[in-house]
Amino acid sequence: MPIDFSRFTAISFDCYGTLIDWESGILPVLRRVLGSHGQSQSQSLTDAAILELYGEFEAEAESGPYQSYRDVLQSVVRAFAERLHFEASSAEIRSLHESVRAWPPFPDTVAALRQLQKRYKLAVISNIDDDLFAETRKHLDVEFDAVITAEQARSYKPSINNFQMALRTLALSPDRLLHAAQSIYHDVVPARSLGISTVWVNRKSVRPGIGAVRGSAALASEKRADLEVPDLAGLAAAVVTRAQD
């Protein structure tokens, strides 16, 4: 059944991978680190392979006791070094989190957010530190009604705690919130489990359909979003089209 967009008060978004083109930020940094240790020419280290390892290492770092995202990204670089048998320098270990502030929005992001803001409150639910998102926010040029970070929640998606915190902050019941995200694992599955309608923003990626995240082991029925779009412009267009029907 088509989504009834009129029943939503707010739309929440994952940030990195959905609003922000993090693959274009992650890959050059990791390529530089790997290249400095003679790893960049390995046949097994395609961009897709690097992102698969990134998704694995990030999820592992986020699954234990809470640590900052800055520390998560440092753990990712250390995990690459351990897996590929080299010793990363302190500068290399810092390089990934230091690059976050420069990760760019997708070309359609800002215009789509402005269009959606005409009809809905906008929120961000992101696995990030407050200060790192403050830098990213400068690229988005939109005022959000709520920003829920992992630092505030003291947990990382796919924990439902982050989504419950968003609902409390927005003072909404699950049926009034629509959540849009690129990650099935981090976002679609946990949001659906709470009765939140979801949009899968299936961005173009060197790992089609997955991106720089861990694949989800959930049942197919639990991974099925209410709507799939190729980008944020597609979501904004769907909202306008349905409003005109």
Do 128 and 150 form a contact (C-beta atoms < 8 A)? yes
Q: Is-contact 179 191, C-beta < 8 A?
A: yes
Strand spans (E) along the chain: 10-13, 121-126, 146-149, 177-181, 197-201, 227-229
Torsional sign, CA 29, 154, 11, 58:
positive
What's the CA gap between 1 and 20, in Å, rounded? 29
Residues designated as active site = 14
Q: Are 34 and 45 in contact (CB under 8 A)?
A: yes
